[in-house]
Amino acid sequence: MNRASAPVSKEVVLLGGGHSHVAVLKMFGMDPVPGARVTLICKDVMTPYSGMLPGLIAGHYSFDEAHIDLRKLCRFAGAQFYRAEAAGLDLENRLVLLKDRPPVRFDLLSINTGSTPRSHDVPGAAKYTIPVKPVERFLAKLPEIINQAQSARGRTCRIAVVGGGAGGVELALSVQFHLSSVRREDASSREFHLVTDTDVILPTHNRRVQSKYARILRERGVRVHLRHAVVRVEPGLLHREPGEPVPFDIAFWVTSAAAPPWFAQAGLKADAGGFIAVNDCLQSLSHPFVFAAGDVAAVLNHPRPKSGVFAVRQGRPLADNVRRALTGQPLQSFSPQRQFLSLISTGNKYAVASRGPFAFEGEWVWRWKDWIDRRWMRKYQQLPMMANGGGARGEGAESSAIESQRSTLEPPAMRCGGCGAKVGSTVLRRVLERLKVSAREDVIIGLEAPDDAAVTVIPPGKLSLQTVDFFRALVNDPYLFGQIAANHSLNDIYAMGGEPRSALAMAMLPYAAEDVMEEQLFQLLSGALRVLDESNVVLSGGHTAEGAELAFGLVVQGVGDPNRLLRKSGMKPGDQLILTKPLGTGTLFAAEMRGAANGEWIEKALATMLLSNRAAAEIIQRHGATACTDVTGFGLTGHALEMANASDVGLEIKLAEVPLMEGALECIRGGILSSLHPDNLRARRAIGNLNDVQLDERFPILFDPQTAGGLLASVPLTNAAACVAQLISSGYRNAGIVGNVRASAQMEPRILINVQKDPPISET
């Protein structure tokens, strides 16, 4: 990852993962502005490239070929990535309001969120048709749509597309090609309609293009309904004026673009269509600290169609002007070209090209388009290796900065060590006021009335349990990191069958300007509090310090019933080993730091890490667990060995039954392992049949260190199957029996690894 070394003094937020913003991220990664931190907020990890979507729908491209991994791109750029959906803006306080998480502060904001088809003024359109945007939602529904069209045997399946622009034409032909290529013999049982209120199809293109597509649609059997405005949609019927309703089984909505209403609600000056009005520098006419590009922007002096080609070309000027705004340079005007190359596909590997009054068609045009699209995607899918702390040089057109722009933002004053390294009291006070931490009866002195120490009450007859965890940030979203760290820290209490009651936070924040540090601490503690509140744990105090990087942990105090306490000792021969979560965080996040992990792998790993073990602990206790621990830094083998030694038993681990996170095995095959893996590997000396199993490709996962991992428990054989069934039904979908306990006299060394699938379980 590429990081500027200067302390952060300015926050740049990129809202949306559109074509312009991926260019900004790449350019800032190649040449960062020291002192500026970039944060991308997007509701999706994989952002589609519009030029390849028709080919993806038709089946010519895979999902990965047509998408850019935003998490990987942010890692390259040294940017924070927040997976979240925008709900509005508070421009007075410079906040992006988000759904289901705290707002995010900014100094400069750029918006490139894309648009959706206009449907709010047509009753029933939103309910009974399928909008092509947001694209990710459309693609998620596409398999179901295809299945519906294919299952209409013995009757005609009527497919309607509303919208006669390039998007509507390409969608109709791509869906038609996909269906015919999968089940060609049923092609005659499908009926396609293209409905538009315009006089011609493709009204923004020249007459030659319109003529060619009129012919192509006619040859493909697509019925075109010109000058028919859809005024109402009912189940199975498109009501139009003039004319009779068009019946449909599946209807796609691909009309002109509409802007989110919260642009205008926030006070941004907008054009007649509700899109953000910007000047020639892509800067808001009403709020100069806001920029916009792509479909959501209306460049008033240079109106252009809502097309991905313009969003792509706005990337460089947007990056340059954001850089200039940060460094106090005058902004530069940008004038988009009037004539541009347009390449429109026809479903099969055939396309039409046009520029100005000219138009060409053929298979060679599709090959040309394919070459252009793949070349553009390679810029964001095959990222160069970056030196730490500096941008790459010698990349020619890939670096947008000029020497005069590379001034550093003014850094904060020299920082102190010792007690002077604490975060200032003003920052802490403001953060605590924003967090609104509530009081609780069993906490006599806590954050609501700060003192030198927190004071809590232990219920009569209970034992006090205490544990501590602290580690560096493994994700570049402090809110998410706070959640993961809290889950990880609570696991020790849950593993012992206890109830966590209160927590003290320990946070190390990177050197930064005061308002920047306040924002990061607020996000971090907000994430931790979300988990603590859900677990009925009160945050009663803590300590903050400044340091080189973000780190966080919790001291957790809990209580336990002395008669129900679970320990690492207590395993009995015949018990079954149950693991509540899959393995793989160590290798996956090692790969993520190298830019080698698929973003979807990381998202699924994060979802697992955010899953609390609270319910799992209750379930395994309910089924008579004899011993338990949580699987964390020492890996499955290390923690299992601790339990075996403490219980004086032997263990058989069924390697084929150990659940793995998606992508973990691929990372291990690539030789990517956690830095802690070599230390954990020392536990292999306890494996009796090491020579027989160490060449198995799954073997390294047994030593993979976990963050916010699952519980490893021994449960009596008679209860194990029911325990796993309840775990799975309670959300622990990967829970399973991963081994069994043997008498120590039968096993020396302590562990045997069984590599066979579903080996027989023997009772001793």
Sheet holding 538-547, edge to edge: 463-472, 551-560, 499-510, 538-547
Instruction: Return the CATH fold of 576-754.
Output: Phosphoribosyl-aminoimidazole Synthetase; Chain A, domain 2 (3.90.650)
Residue, of 384 and 473, whose pLDDT is higher? 473
What is the mean pLDDT of the segment spanning 330-337?
Answer: 87
CA distance 90 to 105: 9
Q: What is the DSSP string of 710-763?
A: -EEEEE-HHHHHHHHHHHHHTT-TT-EEEEEEEEGGG-SSSEEEE-SSSPPP--
pLDDT at 407 over 70: no
What is the Cα–Cα distance from 749 to 304, expressed in whole angstroms?
73
**Which pLDDT does position 690 carry in this prediction?**
87
- Lowest mean per-residue pLDDT among 165-174, 415-424, 621-630: 415-424
Minimum mean pLDDT range among 147-156, 576-585, 712-721: 147-156
Pick the CATH number of 125-256 from 3.40.50.1000, 3.40.50.150, 3.50.50.60, 3.40.718.10: 3.50.50.60
pLDDT over 60 at 319, yes or no: yes
d(CA 406, CA 36): 12
Q: What proportion of the chain, given as a percentage, has pLDDT over 70?
A: 87
Q: pLDDT value at position 260?
A: 83
Average pLDDT over residues 403-421: 50
Cα separations (Å) of 88 from 43, 96, 104, 113, 163?
14, 6, 11, 12, 29
Span 585-590, mean pLDDT? 96
Q: 459: helix, coil or strand?
A: coil
Distance CA 63, CA 50 (A): 12
Q: Across-strand partners of 290?
A: 109
Query: Is residue 35 very low, low, confident or very high in pLDDT (cuts 50, 70, 90)?
Result: very high
User: Looking at domain 419-560, which CATH architecture does it have?
Assistant: 2-Layer Sandwich (3.30)
Q: What is the mean pLDDT of residues 77-86?
A: 95
- Please tell me the distance from the alpha carbon of residue 603 to that of residue 70, in angstroms, as a whole number: 11
- pLDDT recorded at residue 390: 40
Q: Looking at residue 453, what is its pLDDT? A: 67
CA atoms of 476 and 460, how far apart (whole Å): 43
Determine the pLDDT at residue 438.
63
Given the DSSP bridges, would you call strands 463-472 and 499-510 parallel, antiparallel or unpaired? unpaired
Residue 436 backbone class (left: φ over 0; alpha: ψ -120 to 50; beta: rest):
left
Give the type of residue at 134.
P
**What is the average per-residue pLDDT within 274-285?**
94
Contacts of 7 (CB under 8 A, 6+ apart): 35, 411, 412, 510, 511, 512, 513
Nearest 5°: CA angle at 476, between 473 and 477? 100
Using one digit for the tens of pLDDT, what is the confidence trace for 335-366?
Answer: 877 777 889 999 999 999 998 899 999 999 99
Which of 541, 544, 482 shows the shortest CA–CA distance to 514?
A: 544
Model confidence band, residue 94 (pLDDT cutoffs 50, 70, 90): very high
- For residues 654-671, average pLDDT: 95
Please tell me which residue, 457 or 57, carries the higher pLDDT value.
57
Quote the CA–CA distance of 473 and 484 in Å, as a whole number.
10
Q: Which of 216-220, 436-440, 587-591, 667-671 has the lowest mean pLDDT?
A: 436-440
For 186, residues 6+ apart whose C-beta sits below 8 A from its C-beta are 150, 153, 179
CATH of region 10-115+260-335, choose from 3.40.720.10, 1.10.1270.20, 3.50.50.60, 3.40.50.300: 3.50.50.60
- Mean pLDDT in residue range 472-484: 95
**pLDDT at residue 763 greater than cutoff 60:** no
Equal CATH topology for 10-115+260-335 and 125-256: yes
Question: Which two three-digit tokens encode residue 605?
Answer: 């790993």
Phi, psi (deg, nearest 5) at residue 681: -65, -15
Could you tell me the pLDDT band of residue 409, with boundaries at 50, 70 and 90?
Answer: low
Q: Cis peptide leading into 749, omega within 30 of 0?
A: yes
From first CA to last CA, the distance across the chain in angstroms is: 52
Give the tokens for residue 363.
């298979």
In the set 42, 74, 416, 419, the catalytic residue is: 419
pLDDT at 391 over 60: no
pLDDT of the residue at 261: 83
- What does DSSP assign to residue 7? P
Cα–Cα distance measured from residue 333 to residue 75, given in angstroms and rounded to the nearest whole number: 30
Q: In the predicted model, is pLDDT for residue 583 greater than 60?
A: yes
Buried-state track 21-35, b at ≥16 Cβ within 10 A, e below 16: bbbbbbbbbbbbbbb
Distance (Å, whole) CA 265 – CA 311: 24
Helix (H) or strand (E) holding 258: strand 257-258
SS3 of residue 689 by DSSP:
coil
The reported pLDDT for the residue numbered 603 is 95
Whether 445 shows a pLDDT value over 80: the answer reads: no
Instruction: pLDDT band for 595, please (50, 70, 90 cuts).
Output: confident
pLDDT of residue 141: 85
Lowest-confidence pick of 247-256, 279-288, 366-375? 247-256
Distance CA 450, CA 504 (A): 12
Would the pLDDT of 607 be above 50? yes
Task: List the domain boundaries for the chain.
Answer: 10-115+260-335, 125-256, 419-560, 576-754
pLDDT at position 480, please?
A: 97
Task: Please tell me which residue, 617 or 138, carries the higher pLDDT value.
Answer: 617
Helix (H, G, I), strand (E, B) or coil at 241: strand
Look at residue 232 in the predicted model and tell me its pLDDT: 95
Q: Say what the pTM is.
A: 0.88
Quick one: pLDDT at residue 393?
34
| Residue 549, pLDDT above cutoff 70 | yes
Q: What pLDDT was estimated at residue 388?
A: 41
Dmax over CA atoms of the chain, in Å, equals: 88
Position 247 pLDDT exceeds 90: yes
**Confidence at 75, pLDDT banded by 50, 70, 90:** very high
Q: How many helices (H) and strands (E) does the chain have?
A: 21, 37
More confident residue, 665 or 181: 665
Q: Quick one: pLDDT at residue 446?
A: 57
Told to judge if 419 belongs to the known catalytic residues of this protein, a careful annotator would answer yes
Check residue 139 and give its pLDDT. Answer: 87
pLDDT for 681-690, tens place per residue? Answer: 999 998 888 8
Of the candidates 71, 96, 67, 72, the one whose C-alpha atom is nearest the C-alpha of residue 81 is 71
Q: CA dihedral in degrees (440, 443, 449, 453; nearest 10)?
A: -160
What distance in Å separates the CA atoms of residue 654 and residue 759, rounded to the nearest whole number? 7
pLDDT surpassing 70 at residue 449:
no
- Report helix, strand or coil for 122: coil
Name which of 33-42, 77-86, 392-401, 645-654 the model is least confident about: 392-401
- The Cβ of residue 228 has, within 10 Å, a number of other Cβ atoms equal to 21
% residues pLDDT > 90 (the chain): 67
Q: Is the pLDDT of residue 85 over 50?
A: yes
Structure tokens at 138: 């459309």
- Pairwise CA distance, residues 493 & 491, whole Å: 5
Residues in a beta bridge with 640:
none
